[in-house]
Structure 1
Amino acid sequence: MPASPLAIADYRKFWVARCASVFATSGMVVVLGYQLYDVARGTYGMSIKAAAFQLGLLGLVQFLPQILLAPVAGVIADRFDRRNITALATALDVLVALALTLITALGTLSLPFLFTLAALHGAIRAFIGPAQSSIAPNIVPAALMPRAIAISAMSWQVGSIGGPALAGVMFALNPALPYGVATVLLVIAATAIIRIRPVPPPSGNAHVHPLRQMLDGLAYVWKDRFLLGCVTLDLFAVLLGGASALLPVYARDILMWNGHAVGSFGLGLMRAMPSLGASAIGLVIARRPIENDVGARMLMSVAVFGAATAAFGISRNFVLSLGLLALLGAADMVSVFIRSTLVQLHTPDAVRGRVSSISGLAISASNELGEMESGLAAALLGAAGAVVFGGLGAIAVTLIWTWAFPELRRARTFATTYAEPENTLKEQAT
């Protein structure tokens, strides 16, 4: 047994691919949101509220392809080599990054162009998510999975810190530069993932009709209250509490530094701060993984996330706002680590791709639909009101889920036992 997942060569390649991919896409998303808001305000002459609503639409157009394709993507991840799926989808994302590089360099930006490329990016991520997240349990021993998930989450946070921060700096130097760098990083990610040894698809799935597989995957999560509680907690808490969609509004029109709006550079810092806070906690978790009272800690971390979000909405001090963003990122990291570990360790490999696609869909829904909710709320309440409302909503969700899913608060360790539902997938495997 290796002492660490990083002692496994395939896991190192997986980590590099994940880090490069997140570094690229997180920077792309930040620049894309800022460009869309700036084009709406400048080229189209929209008001702050109307331009903020466009940011909500941006989240919606990224989410719709994912909700349509997630069931298909989950089945594909359970029927084919997950490396090939991830590498091919990442190669398609390279084309999206190239297109954004060209239209930015040529100065042909428009809302239809930006919305179309955002939708394509969302469709591609629908296939990358379940396939990529299902690779780790195939290359890492079960005993090392909690630490592997913590280190994998760290790769996500490292990319999320460097991507937005450097994208903001590069955008100030040359607006097309962040997309060019993202193109190179996505090529690196695709190359690293395809160099992992082949990951054969789980046995017992090839003879099952794909539609039946989709339905069985949904039924598995629906019947398992433990998994259902884990997945939906993140869905509704971040759906209400996510403030990231409105950060361009804060950067351009609300937060000031030396009498001037903090601009794209400030936006890059704000987008990076949640990941910085998450990384600080992630380093601790990677060295000393959480092992006790995992359910209660997950619920508490979501409540802290909501409180920090509400406080950020009120703050007008740029330094304080950065600190609050770091705090909510740290709380989110604890929640993500515990939830991801519970989901991965409580899901059979035969259905892991489909469960991962559902979990990924919930994450996308919480992010992209959260952006839509933030845009709508900002149109009605203003940006600050929308953020405060969302943070308080996340706290309310935590209280409701604590009562509605007692299985979560009773989870003491990752080896928690619970009533496992009967499922046709297990019958097919036998």
Structure 2
Amino acid sequence: MQTRSDDMTLLLRHAPLTRFLIARIGSITAQQMLMLAISWHMYELTSRAWDLGLVGLFQFVPGLATTLIAGHCADRLHRGQMVAVCLALQAIAATLLLISTATHSVTRDALLAFSLALGAIRPFQMAGQQALLPMLVPPKLLARSMALSTVVQQISVIAGPALGGILFASGVAAVYMTSAGLFCVSAMMYAFVHYNYTPLPREPVTVDMIFAGLRFIWSNPLLLGAISLDLFAVLFGGATALLPVYARQILHVGPQGLGLLRSAPAVGALCVGLFLSQKTIDRGVGKKLLIAVAIYGVSIVGFGLSRWFVVSLFLLAISGGADTISVVVRQTLIQLETPDRMRGRVAAVNTLFIGASNQLGEFESGVSATVLGVIGSVVAGGSATMIISFAWSRLFKPLARRETLH
């Protein structure tokens, strides 16, 4: 009988998956560095917080227009090559920023234009990546592969800004140059990720085909429950936008403490991701998904009420770990419940929901903090997440009663 250790060894020796994970480290690290550089460069040019907000807005808005088209492309094209093209385009953007910096021709409008272009490209990359992974491993190993992919993402989210900060000592041009190099290497690795790909016959693109993923999710209560659970839990339960206020006014730890607060959820996510890569959730996956979301809400409430820095770090780490359980279970269920011909379009809708929950969640935090105060906003948001977990257990019975991933 094959053991969990045998399964893990098989995963690590699986060349396409290994190539995918290494390329993912490079691409996410490069993206983190590039966006950090653009934000810093913008602030150097204008010294206005409003322009920093515009950088984020200009990345988010084009995704609303391109996400569903990106999903259609991921179902029609070779997914590895599609991701490689996206990374190559981002390498070109980083190179142009490098040249503009060296020639002192960078302007506010140019940085906003680059942000807009990167925001339009990224949905194609994300849809291709999400739909590619299930093609690289057997279904029984997909949950562990998802956990490993989450680990890789968290490592990159931690390492990218740290590496970018170190390179800033040599100037922003060094960050742009390193990002371009990482994008190029990752693009080449994605281009040579092999899987059983059969080109589909050419068909005219119709509105019906573009929106097929959205209709598929709406008609499947399990998928609708899983995706909407994440949307509303993050929309109400996120506290990231208010961390600077906690660092300065409540915990009194300054910018160094703010950096640790931002890193704490990623550390918790990394630990849980490593655990889930060794031991999958075999039974009661629907119930455990809902419990994980409830724990996320409890930890956010605790963080909102905490006045001790160490306790706040611990609670944020718990929130990151609980969120990782939710991500791995939810993403695995989505991939296993979706036929391959639809994976790109379903992944695109999922990406759109995730982006909307993160961006709108920050806006919701700001609005509710204005009305309820900072502490009241965080506590109310965490409480709403717990209520959502309970409500979804009643509204989406197929999700709550799901016993196994397969």
Q: What's the TM-score bracket when you normalise by the shorter of the two chains?
A: 0.7 to 0.9
User: Per the alignment, do residues 386 and 56 of structure 1 end up closer, same or farther by CA in structure 2, a change over 3 Å counting?
Assistant: farther
User: Per the alignment, do residues 35 and 376 of structure 1 end up closer, same or farther by CA in structure 2, a change over 3 Å counting?
Assistant: farther
CA contact (8 A) 2:136 2:195 kept: no
Q: Which amino acid aligns with 2:210?
A: M
Superposed displacement of residue 132, structure 1? 1.2
1-structure distance, mates of 2:286, 2:124: 29
2-structure distance, mates of 1:30, 1:233: 30
1:182 to 153, 162, 179: 179
Moved more, 104-113 or 357-366: 104-113
Superposed displacement of residue 180, structure 1? 3.9
Counterpart check, 1:18 vs 2:24? yes
Counterpart check, 1:271 vs 2:268? no
- For structure 2, which runs of at least 5 residues remain unmatched after alignment? none
The secondary structure found in structure 1 opposite 2:193 is coil
Q: Which runs of structure 2 are paired with 1:81-100 in the superposition (5 Å)? A: 81-98=78-95
Q: Which runs of structure 2 are paired with 1:318-357 in the superposition (5 Å)? A: 318-357=309-348
Per the normalisation by structure 1, the TM-score is: 0.82
CA contact (8 A) 2:135 2:195 kept: no
Counterpart check, 1:221 vs 2:221? no
2-structure distance, mates of 1:104, 1:251: 33
Counterpart check, 1:127 vs 2:105? no
2-structure distance, mates of 1:170, 1:267: 20
User: Per the alignment, do residues 189 and 377 of structure 1 end up closer, same or farther by CA in structure 2, a change over 3 Å counting?
Assistant: farther
Counting matched residue pairs gives 400
User: Per the alignment, do residues 392 and 174 of structure 1 end up closer, same or farther by CA in structure 2, a change over 3 Å counting?
Assistant: farther
Moved more, 287-296 or 266-275: 266-275
CA contact (8 A) 1:238 1:367 kept: yes
1:7 to 10, 13, 35: 13
1-structure distance, mates of 2:168, 2:307: 25
Counterpart check, 1:241 vs 2:237? yes
User: Per the alignment, do residues 104 and 387 of structure 1 end up closer, same or farther by CA in structure 2, a change over 3 Å counting?
Assistant: farther
CA contact (8 A) 2:41 2:172 kept: no
Q: Which amino acid aligns with 2:47?
A: T
Superposed displacement of residue 293, structure 1? 0.9
2-structure distance, mates of 1:76, 1:113: 28
The secondary structure found in structure 2 opposite 1:134 is helix
Per-residue CA shift, 1:376-427, capped at 9, x if unaligned? 4445555554433332332232222222112111111113xxxxxxxxxxxx
Sequence identity, in percent? 38
2-structure distance, mates of 1:168, 1:317: 28
Superposed displacement of residue 236, structure 1? 1.3
Moved more, 96-105 or 123-132: 96-105
- For structure 1, which runs of at least 5 residues remain unmatched after alignment? 45-50, 416-430
Counterpart check, 1:158 vs 2:164? no
Give me the CA root mean square deviation.
Answer: 3.1
The secondary structure found in structure 1 opposite 2:232 is helix
Q: Which runs of structure 2 are paired with 1:284-295 in the superposition (5 Å)? A: 284-295=275-286
Superposed displacement of residue 309, structure 1? 2.4
Per-residue CA shift, 1:337-376, capped at 9, x if unaligned? 0001100111100111111111111111112222333344
